[in-house]
Chain A
């Protein structure tokens, strides 16, 4: 499909520009080949009715202590043309395979888990905004200045470990909708591909993220998508490059420390002769 060419182009660029330094550092988080243990959320925008029940469920699940720090928000936009249906997209963390945020996190608060979810530890977050600056999807991280921290979707990690669905998916099903679905990554991907073939739509980033979004053909106005959601048809190479540069720069303490030691040794080595001792009064 067309997405395959996007992926290969990105891999090529990454291999050429940014992946080189990553490979030198030991290949930190390469995309995992085996997806059998991973889960994914599939979102069918053609079936969403903009009821915002998922937002309420997310707020109940996550935002109890600090109001305003829930992660799911449904954005509604109007495509060009009067006949076109308004397009609701539930924006949350896309749970990238090769997540740039986990590599630049100063407090080691973000973790890419084996289940595919990028989890987040509130105690470790220091609110440095590094993750926000490298995130390819600007609406997936919520910085709350009153708390000094970044909040994000963790795919309801404790619920999926216990075998349950995320709160947003459960509430979607409970109200009789099937816009959101959750399951093993391979199943969700096949389901999304099948739906995309049926409606001639596009599944966004089927091989790069653990949140799969299905768009109808009439919603594929790239300008509108990039303006309103920060989504682009192409997974951003720029953010991967940013993450790699930041990651390498963090290792700058090694040359700095080495330079300090060398500098100190140079003082001792390049000594000049002891000046003659003179009584001070003779000046």
Chain B
């Protein structure tokens, strides 16, 4: 089994507590990999400076910057450059780690294409702002704004990086096992693929993607909610229930998410609706 950049997953105790927001944003991001840190700092910073520029566009507060507004543009460009470098790391991880590919699913391609468009158009703008390329007319400014807005919306509902970011912040305010928290985790999951690496069920099924914990959490939860009839629900739950409840995924999950809580919750609900009584775990 191949591990990303040779780093083996560290199994912690099953009593691992749900990390707080600071731990998720700093410890789980910065200490994992320098490129991961670059990507997160660049992306968050570029979004914040971009939002400031949007506020300037819709307000008349530009004059309070007293001529210093160009600093925002240059900082936005510099952070965008960090994002571009970090994004190279994300692509490298996608290419090198099978577990990351399995956990990401095909939604990764939507993110990759749209971020690629944003990064390339932004890089051309950055070269123009630095005076390396001549300041001339082109489509890159229009594409940069339009692609960013499209990416924010598509990635949020397509289960991409935006839903991961929004979900991570929301998950840190939950207790980690309430019904809402189970919902939120299916968005927050960072698709790191560590649970896939350690899952014995996934190993035993010869790498069947449906048995990957990260996919079960997202795919089965969605299918369960979309399917109307109890029979369909029960079929899904039977798939889910292939889990051996070993809990290794919980040990390696950066969110310390208790996957089996979700599986047991689904099973419990379908049995309650069918038979009108609880099934003991």
Shortest distance in angstroms between B59's beta carbon and chain A's nearest beta carbon? Answer: 8
Interface size class of B (residues with CB under 8 A): 35 or more
Please give, as numbers and ranges, the residues of chain A lying within 8 Å of B149 by CB-CB distance: 249, 252-253, 255-256
Is B141 within 8 A of A130, CB to CB? yes
Is B183 within 8 A of A252, CB to CB? no
Is B142 within 8 A of A242, CB to CB? yes
B206 lies within 8 A of chain A by Cβ: no
B 252-281 contacts with A by CB, 8 A: 261-262, 264-266, 268-269, 272, 278, 280-281
Is B69 within 8 A of A126, CB to CB? yes
- For the complex, give the distance between the alpha carbons of A276 and B184 in Å: 19
Closest A residue to B60 by beta carbon equals A108
Is B153 within 8 A of A132, CB to CB? no
A123 lies within 8 A of chain B by Cβ: yes
Is A256 within 8 A of B179, CB to CB? no
B241 lies within 8 A of chain A by Cβ: no
Known: A127-B73, A252-B152, A260-B156. A268 touches B180 (CB 8 A): yes
- With beta carbons under 8 angstroms apart, the residue of B157, B182, B221, B225 that contacts A263 is B157
* Interface mask (A254-283 → B, CB under 8 Å = 1, otherwise 0): 011001100110111011111110101001
Is B170 within 8 A of A250, CB to CB? no
Is A123 within 8 A of B184, CB to CB? no
A 155-174 contacts with B by CB, 8 A: none
* Interface mask (B159-192 → A, CB under 8 Å = 1, otherwise 0): 0000100100010000001111011100100000
Is A134 within 8 A of B137, CB to CB? yes
B247 lies within 8 A of chain A by Cβ: yes
- For the complex, give the distance between the alpha carbons of A266 and B170 in Å: 13
- For the complex, give the distance between the alpha carbons of A239 and B56 in Å: 22
Please give, as numbers and ranges, the residues of chain B lying within 8 Å of A122 by CB-CB distance: 67
Please give, as numbers and ranges, the residues of chain A lying within 8 Å of B137 by CB-CB distance: 132-136, 138, 230, 239
- With beta carbons under 8 angstroms apart, the residue of B57, B146, B150, B180 that contacts A267 is B180
A 133-147 contacts with B by CB, 8 A: 133-136, 138, 141, 143, 145, 147
Closest A residue to B70 by beta carbon equals A148
Shortest distance in angstroms between B244's beta carbon and chain A's nearest beta carbon? Answer: 12
Known: A127-B73, A133-B137. A272 touches B265 (CB 8 A): yes
Is B63 within 8 A of A124, CB to CB? yes
Please give, as numbers and ranges, the residues of chain B lying within 8 Å of A105 by CB-CB distance: 57
Known: A133-B140, A267-B180. A273 touches B268 (CB 8 A): yes
Max count, chain B CB within 10 A of own CB: residue among A106, A239, A271: A106
B242 lies within 8 A of chain A by Cβ: no
Shortest distance in angstroms between A18's beta carbon and chain B's nearest beta carbon? Answer: 12
B24 lies within 8 A of chain A by Cβ: no
A118 lies within 8 A of chain B by Cβ: no
A246 lies within 8 A of chain B by Cβ: yes
Known: A256-B149, A273-B269. A108 touches B62 (CB 8 A): yes
- With beta carbons under 8 angstroms apart, the residue of A124, A264, A283 that contacts B247 is A283
B136 lies within 8 A of chain A by Cβ: yes
Is A127 within 8 A of B69, CB to CB? yes
B135 lies within 8 A of chain A by Cβ: yes
Please give, as numbers and ranges, the residues of chain A lying within 8 Å of B196 by CB-CB distance: none
Is A143 within 8 A of B146, CB to CB? no
Q: Which candidate, B34-42, B97-105, B123-131, is the interface stretch facing chain A?
A: B123-131
- For the complex, give the distance between the alpha carbons of A253 and B82 in Å: 24
Closest B residue to A131 by beta carbon equals B141
In the A-B complex, list the 6 residue pairs whose CB atoms are closest, starting with the nearest: A252-B149, A148-B70, A126-B69, A145-B131, A124-B62, A143-B135
19 contacts between A and B (CB under 8 A): A106-B56, A107-B62, A123-B66, A126-B53, A126-B69, A127-B69, A129-B129, A132-B128, A145-B129, A147-B70, A249-B149, A253-B149, A256-B153, A263-B187, A268-B180, A272-B269, A275-B262, A283-B245, A283-B247
Interface set of A (CB-CB < 8 Å, partner B): 104-109, 121-130, 132-136, 138, 141, 143, 145, 147-150, 230, 239, 242, 245-246, 249-250, 252-253, 255-256, 259-260, 263-264, 266-268, 270-276, 278, 280, 283
Interface set of B (CB-CB < 8 Å, partner A): 14-15, 53-54, 56-60, 62-63, 65-67, 69-74, 125, 128-131, 135-142, 145-146, 148-150, 152-153, 156-157, 163, 166, 170, 177-180, 182-184, 187, 221, 224-225, 245, 247, 261-262, 264-266, 268-269, 272, 278, 280-281
10 additional A-B residue pairs with CB within 8 Å, beyond A127-B69, A148-B73, A259-B157: A129-B128, A129-B129, A230-B137, A250-B54, A252-B149, A256-B153, A266-B183, A272-B265, A275-B182, A283-B247
